[in-house]
Amino acid sequence: MIHGKNIVWHDTNIKQEDREALLQQKSVVLWFTGLSGSGKSTIANAVEKRLAALGRLTYLLDGDNVRHGLNKDLGFGVSDRVENIRRIAEVCKLFLDAGIITLTAFISPLAADRENARQLMGDRFIEVFVDCSLKACESRDPKGLYKKARAGEIKDFTGIDSPYEKPVNPEIVIISDKQSIEDCVDDIINYLLAQGHFKDVTL
């Protein structure tokens, strides 16, 4: 919903395709989704590092980092978590227009929220399902969140007392408790190459 009757979209002279031509890349959003502790941020960081080495302009949006600024007014109730993802999707759309390869690392547990993001970005949205068993995620527990959730100190924690809706048809599936980080990165980079997001690079 647009609040206000006098808001009109202003078209600019420089378009997305102009920025992409300048950067010699096709902008895209790599949307990493998976349980807490599945390795989303770790793998997204590794992918971004590889892309930077290949001379690609990128930006990584991490769930915790975004909540320090843009979304610091949001809590962790259902409606706030939906709004959190909605805002991120809108930011991603802006980065697409800027010609940037954008990576996100958010649990984004609800299929409807991810579908809304896909509808907003169309074929530039690439869902990367970081598949990892709950047992493996809980054994890692890098932030101690599972321990707190099991103790009842955190309510509505995804995977414990709040559901995670697995992607049905993601573009990329990586199994982080069975694949090495390097293999996960290779799978993602090879997908981008196959889809023509950039060319003339050496892995």
Q: Tell me the pLDDT tens digit for each residue of 48-80.
A: 999 999 999 999 998 778 778 778 888 777 788
Interacting residues of 136 by C-beta distance below 8 A, sequence separation 6+: 37, 176, 177
pTM > 0.85 = yes
Both tokens assigned to 130: 């970081």
- Judged against a pLDDT cut of 50, whether residue 201 lies above it is answered with no
> What percent of the chain lies above the pLDDT cut of 90?
59
Give the tens place of pLDDT for each residue, 86-134. Answer: 999 999 999 999 999 999 999 999 999 999 999 999 999 999 999 999 9
C-alpha closest to that of 130 among 44, 49, 197, 64: 44
Would you list the domain boundaries of the chain?
16-194
Phi, psi for 32 (deg, rounded to 5): -80, 125
The CATH topology of domain 16-194 is Rossmann fold (3.40.50)
C-alpha dihedral sign at 72, 43, 23, 126: negative
Does 139 qualify as catalytic in the annotation?
A: no
Across the range 12-22, mean pLDDT stands at 88
C-alpha closest to that of 34 among 149, 158, 122: 158
12 by Cβ neighbours in 10 Å (0-12 / 13-18 / 19+) ranks as exposed
- Judged against a pLDDT cut of 60, whether residue 158 lies above it is answered with yes
Choose the catalytic residue: 79, 108, 133, 162.
108
Whether residue 197 contacts residue 24, with contact meaning beta carbons closer than 8 Å, is answered with no
Binding residues, by number, are 34-41
Binding residues for ATP, by number, are 34-41
